[in-house]
Structure 1
């Protein structure tokens, strides 16, 4: 396209954004209008993409970080012939693929769900890392973000990572339209303020008038020719550009234009230009995932092994069997034992340092490129990345998260290091799987099982060594449990997971000496949960005690209680968990203080059974 056609294409994108929002009666047309020229030049001149093959391994990747500007993205899809005008006008309507904020669940040309601001660049970094270090392909990653979201700390985690990794295949386009939701942004139209910040992180920057299509074209060309650095195009734009009633005016964010027909006339009327961009280069498809036989590590019953150690060894073994597995670390790989993978497969190991949001975002980006990521840090620190995990679920992303150093059992480090909310957080994520193994062989099997699951998968591991309870050939289906003790005369069931399983077994042994027969269930799968086994235990023993190294809210106790939420009679239920804020003490002292050690479990069980038989 020549200059005049690029100008017309920008106007077409504005018109179609106005029309889509007007048909919906809601949306963000003014935020779309500011970036229309930036998008027109990119898609017409520089973006290499086959819309008929969105899975083409050589396609460039476009991430609309300012997801509220979805009318612009849909207008681009229409200009590319991917959707028609009739579908464009279904924007935000029930059943439409054109949601208020775009998601890849509905549209194959969308890389990741956006709309929670500050996430597009971090995910883009993950995609660019995959391109440079895994795919070894020449596709480029283009991220369009707004100036408001540069207040998010996650953007600067991404900026640091991109520069550190020399991601010259990544270009960020910042739509500096000066206006946020409630008024002016922090730096307004001070382009240099933004440029200085990116330069300080090691980026190449270009400041440009975002409505001068020739200048924008040159800026993109400069980014393409820059080597060894990511590039940021800092573009001055006007919100609502082209329509006097809304241009650069406050109070109009997230609203359709007052008079759409008048605005369309002012923009020069409807057009039907077609984008015929450059085709992508040939590239190899991502690995299929299976290159050899999986030989998991094995331990003998009675050995003392930490589940974090088992995780590291199992992950390294999985990496040997599958060349699509990648590992990501939050600068604690020596503690989580992810370093075992780093030693075995250094080319597929990614150090994200203490930037948990970026770690999860990198996993999401790599998953979108056909990789199977395992991202590990302390369970407590995954809470920092909760919104990224939530949005990964919205995307339908398949990622594996591993949280170590969980619960009071870590001992003297104290509460800041203790994951006591992680099970609740991960269980609340839509479509998630939550696993909590108690021994080494179980851990290894579950690490392998996670590779075959969909959605967000979470594995909780423990710091201290614990006894190996199961043989190396035992199976642990996701959604199952293990009944470790049972008899026809059981009067009580103890339900435990992870570090509390040995404590529950010891408590059961003590109660057996008092002629109280006790069933013990290892509930290693907290979501999905084994309802049938729990319900049978409730019916047959009448009394349940749940024991968890976690706060009572949202963890194992809630998972068990929910198994009886279908209206059937609920057994007598006592829930033991960490109800106070711990201090520093030995692991044994911590379990005792929290009331989740063997002695406390036995006391609770003894009391529950006594109360159950009171006439």
Structure 2
């Protein structure tokens, strides 16, 4: 694995480096040092707007700019970017299909000491239920940069989920890596079980693969950076070829990646056992990020346990 950087920092740097298009505008709710939009603000002050702690207004303003041909990037913590302004996103952005990109930083339990009120564990679920909304959850800095590039080319609403803490970079050294919205990436081949992960759980899935290898179990690892549209072909191929699935996410197990994968499988001819690694329909707690990951079972060890359980449930 490579250097460590938070996906929010990678996003901020990519935004400043890649968004030289004069039609791109960035909006923030008084959190530019946290969301890392400060880099864009310093470079393009005429296209940056700090609307203050008025998230609903921010989305409305961004939507208004989009009606005039702009590509709007809206930024705040994930808990506010999806929950506090759900109505505005649904009715002012998604319903008219405007070119507004919602970027929620500080997602999941790894927000840490800020506690349950700031730990967005429902944001993927909220966004993927909105018609026309694309949902992207990059696993590292390099993939985040690729996601920003892709979002600029995609017309219409998108939700990008980023995290607070630094994560190891793994995708920059993957042979043949190519980021495409709606296409999962196989990071490691395997025929015994498939681990499908997003966000920082991709790194945990790769570690789990090594744990399983010591037990003579060969696990496939898929980086499912796009939750919507989900890569149904990738999921079905994995199910057919390995016979068991484990989904891994720093999110409620209801409505997120696991649910999206289950929806694909139940409609296909590839019904196989599926186990879920995620937060089990509870709120978060204040604590150190590493301790919280362990508390909620978001670890390589737990993924490996679930993989063995899924394998025992395989059809004979």
CA gap of 1:567–1:483, structure 2 versus 1, over 3 A, is closer
1:484 matched to 2:183: no
Residues 528-567 of structure 1: pairs in structure 2 closer than 5 A = 528-567=229-268
> Does the CA-based 8 Å contact 1:319-1:345 persist in structure 2?
no
Write out per-residue CA displacement over residues 556-610 of structure 1, whole angstroms, 9 at most, x where no aligned residue.
Answer: 0111112224242311011121122221221111111111211111111122223
In structure 2, the residue matched to 1:517 is 218
In structure 1, the residue matched to 2:53 is 354
> Does the CA-based 8 Å contact 2:272-2:314 persist in structure 1?
no
The alignment covers a number of residue pairs equal to: 311
1:450 matched to 2:132: no
Distance in 2 between residues matched to 1:468 and 1:338, nearest whole Å: 21
Q: 2:86 aligns with which of 360, 363, 386?
A: 386
Write out per-residue CA displacement over residues 228-257 of structure 1, whole angstroms, 9 at most, x where no aligned residue.
Answer: xxxxxxxxxxxxxxxxxxxxxxxxxxxxxx
Distance in 2 between residues matched to 1:593 and 1:342, nearest whole Å: 38
TM-score by length of 2: 0.95
1:594 matched to 2:296: yes
Residues 266-285 of structure 1: pairs in structure 2 closer than 5 A = none
Displacement of 1:507 in angstroms is: 0.7
In structure 1, the residue matched to 2:40 is 341
Displacement of 1:324 in angstroms is: 0.8
Distance in 1 between residues matched to 2:65 and 2:27, nearest whole Å: 10
Q: 1:425 aligns with which of 112, 126, 133?
A: 126
Unpaired runs of at least 5, structure 1:
1-300
Structure with bigger RCO (C-alpha 8 Å, 6+ apart): 2
Distance in 2 between residues matched to 1:591 and 1:540, nearest whole Å: 30
In structure 1, the residue matched to 2:76 is 377
Residues 380-419 of structure 1: pairs in structure 2 closer than 5 A = 380-382=79-81, 383-391=83-91, 392-419=93-120
1:610 matched to 2:315: no
Greater share of strand: 2
State the structure with more CA Rg. Answer: 1
1:315 matched to 2:15: yes
> Does the CA-based 8 Å contact 1:437-1:498 persist in structure 2?
yes
What secondary structure sits across from 1:327 in the alignment? Answer: strand
TM-score by length of 1: 0.49
Distance in 2 between residues matched to 1:561 and 1:607, nearest whole Å: 17
In structure 2, the residue matched to 1:153 is none
Distance in 2 between residues matched to 1:542 and 1:448, nearest whole Å: 35
Distance in 2 between residues matched to 1:379 and 1:541, nearest whole Å: 34
> Does the CA-based 8 Å contact 1:325-1:348 persist in structure 2?
yes
